[in-house]
Each structure stands twice: as structure tokens, then as C-alpha cells.
Amino acid sequence: MTASPRPRATRAHPAIARRRSRVRRAAHGRLGLRIAGAAALAAFGYWLAVGPLMTVSGVTLSGYPGPDPSRVTALIDQAASRGGSLLAPPVGDIRRAAQADPWIKDVIVSRDLPTGIVVQVVPARPVAVGVPRAGAPMLVSRDGRSMGPVPPGTTLGRIAVPSPATLPLGAALPKASRAPVAFIAALPEEDAARVRGLTVRHGLVEGRLTRGPQLRAGTPGNMAAKAAALSAVLAQVNDSDQRAAQYVDVSVPDHPALGGPNADPTITRGTREQPRKAPATAQSVPSDPAAPTATTPATPAPAATPQPGTATGTPAVTPNAGQTSTSTTQ
């Protein structure tokens, strides 16, 4: 069986071919115009967004409680002019510039048409008063920076700052002041107001309480738990017992102790922060105010065997941390 011949391809009439060619060129031209128009529109939008018409030209600062609003406004204005526009203000740069001031915790940026922005301040509050070796006291922020002069009537707790003079606004306190600041910041306002002279001395956080005893907080760590332990002690012990005590020790937060007027001051100084049995002159206070106190009398210790070189009935005292051995010779 023979295959049928393939039909010959017929060529279009020259007029039709020319018309098809013109249609294709017109379509290509319209596509090019669309692309060019879209590019021009995008360029115009970009210019509109970052060009002079939308440049931030005014900053309004609201809610700033600190002493130098003109300086803060200048810093924010400088940050806003470095990039962005009214449509997309540089909020990150504005926030970093504003937080250079210790009175500013955060900011909220909004537009102020036609070309301005409003920066609403979320204020930071001072937590303590820092007292340098010389010079005027200064307010101290939670992150350990100077917040400027102390206004009259301030009732915040006080820390001793190892600085020879008053620090300027925004300057960071010495590293040794971080633990005292953290301790006071973790206390309730009423308890924090009673703290005086809190500092790090010989590696230990020490201070005193108004209308109360010396305060011992041990090594500079776990300050929040130690502050909670102090609040628990102050809530359980009445004012007269607090005034009569020699020290309150919260160096071990789970085992705070209130030392009486005859307590040995070397009991806790220099010792490790490990749970230990309270001395006979110290009143152990549970860290949880709801915890019951023990009422069962202690079992008498067996009589000590006299040792050579000691009087009969006078046991030798085994040396403890911070104590010396004592004995009575015949």
C-alpha cells in the first residue's frame, strides 16, 4: 500500500504576511512601553519615599522625664535623618539613639503629617541613689547608669559607689556596683528604701538597714533570691527585734538568719555560701513566710570527754571558718 503524498505547505499571501509582521511589532512595542512605564512608576515611588518630599523634618519628643530633653531630641533628629523617610522611619536607629539616655527605657514612633514624627518615651525609673567617695549623690538606673542629681525628698535605697566623684549623666557605674544595684532593684520599694551604704567589701555584699541591723548578702551572685529572702525576714520579724539584732544574713537565701546583739560577727564573714547550722546567738528565719517554725526543743548534746590540757567540763572548740581554737588550761 502506497502512502498518500504530503500536502505542500502553502505560503501566505504577501499582504497577509506583512500585516502579521506589523501586528507582532506592535505587540512587542506595547510590552516594552508597559515595562518602561512600570520601571518609571517604581522609580517615582522610590523617590517619593526617600526623596525630599518625605524626609523627616521635625521631631516631637513626648513623655521624657529626664533633665536634658534638647539633647535627646537632637540625637533622635540625627538618627532620623540618616536614613528612612516619613513612610518608613528608621525606628531601630531612633530607638538606639534614644536609649543612650538613661531616662528612656523604650520609644514608640508615630508619624506627624506632613513631614514630622512623634517619639513617645517609655520612661525608665531610678532604683537607687549612688553615693560616691566625694561629690553629690546621683540617681542610678536599673542597668547601672547615672541618672543625674537627686531631687529633694527621694526615698530610694542607697549604695556606696567606688568612684572618686559624681558621674555624669548616662555614665556607667563601676563594675563592683552591679550587684548592689541588682539587689536593691529586686526589693519591694518599702524594703529598698531602708538600705544604706550597700557595697562590695572584700568580695562580699554588705550594708545596713535603717532602724535595723547590718545587712550581709554574701558573694555578688543570685541577688534576686537574696533580696526575696530579706523581704521574708523583714515581714516576719517585728521592729523591736530588728532594732535589737546585730545583723541579718541572707548570703544563703534558703537559710537566712537574724543575729542577736551578742552574735559573733565572724560567723558568716569569709565563709562559703553553704547551708549551715545557725549559731546559738542567731535566730534562723525560714525564707518562706508561710513555713512553720520548729518548736521541738533540741536534743541535748552528749557530754564532751575532757581532753589533755583542758579543764574538766570545758570542751575544746573545734576551729571553724573565721574562728580560732580556744581552750582553758589547767
- Give the pLDDT confidence score for residue 310 in this predicted structure: 37
Which of 42-51, 210-219, 264-273 is least confident?
A: 264-273
How far apart are alpha carbons 229 and 187 in whole angstroms? 10
pLDDT in tens, 156-189: 999 999 999 999 999 999 999 999 999 999 999 9
- Give the pLDDT confidence score for residue 274 in this predicted structure: 43
| Contact (Cβ atoms closer than 8 angstroms) between residue 147 and residue 139 | yes
How far apart are alpha carbons 143 and 240 in whole angstroms? 35
Residue range 303-323: mean pLDDT, rounded: 37
DSSP category for residue 117: E
| Contact (Cβ atoms closer than 8 angstroms) between residue 199 and residue 205 | yes
DSSP 3-state percent helix, strand, coil across the chain (nearest 5): 30, 20, 50
| Contact (Cβ atoms closer than 8 angstroms) between residue 183 and residue 196 | no
Sheet strands side by side (includes 116-123): 58-62, 116-123, 104-112
This prediction has a pTM of 0.64
> pLDDT at residue 324 above 80?
no
- Give the pLDDT confidence score for residue 98 in this predicted structure: 93
**Stronger pLDDT, 290 or 92, i.e. the higher one:** 92
How far apart are alpha carbons 291 and 256 in whole angstroms? 13
- Give the pLDDT confidence score for residue 27 in this predicted structure: 73
- Give the pLDDT confidence score for residue 34 in this predicted structure: 77
pLDDT in tens, 79-132: 877 766 666 677 888 899 999 999 999 999 887 776 678 899 999 999 999 999
- Give the pLDDT confidence score for residue 10 in this predicted structure: 64
Banded pLDDT at 1 (limits 50, 70, 90): low
| Contact (Cβ atoms closer than 8 angstroms) between residue 249 and residue 259 | yes
How far apart are alpha carbons 27 and 109 in whole angstroms? 48
Which of 11-15, 53-57, 299-303 is least confident?
A: 299-303
Banded pLDDT at 190 (limits 50, 70, 90): very high
Which of 72-81, 112-121, 224-233 is least confident?
A: 112-121
Name all domains of the chain by residue range, CATH numbers in brackets.
Answer: 54-123 (3.10.20), 128-284 (3.40.50)
Q: In this structure, what C-alpha cell is assigned to residue 284?
A: 534562723
> pLDDT at residue 47 above 80?
no
How far apart are alpha carbons 156 and 195 in whole angstroms? 8
- Give the pLDDT confidence score for residue 128 in this predicted structure: 97
Q: In this structure, what C-alpha cell is assigned to residue 164?
A: 572618686
- Give the pLDDT confidence score for residue 4 in this predicted structure: 62
Smallest CA-to-CA distance from 170 within 223, 124, 119 is with 124
> pLDDT at residue 7 above 90?
no
Cβ neighbours of residue 207 under 8 Å, at least 6 residues apart?
159, 160, 180, 195, 196, 197, 198, 199, 214, 215, 217
- Give the pLDDT confidence score for residue 260 in this predicted structure: 72
pLDDT, mean over the chain? 77
Smallest CA-to-CA distance from 229 within 207, 213, 250, 245 is with 250
Question: How crowded is residue 307: how many other Cβ atoms within 10 Å of its Cβ?
Answer: 10
Whether the upstream peptide bond of residue 52 has omega within 30° of 0, thus cis, is no
Which position has the grid cell 513566710? 289
> pLDDT at residue 269 above 60?
no
> pLDDT at residue 298 above 50?
no
**Stronger pLDDT, 32 or 77, i.e. the higher one:** 77
Share of residues in the chain with pLDDT > 70 (%): 68
- Give the pLDDT confidence score for residue 281 in this predicted structure: 44
**Bridge partners for 206 per DSSP:** 199, 216
- Give the pLDDT confidence score for residue 51 in this predicted structure: 53
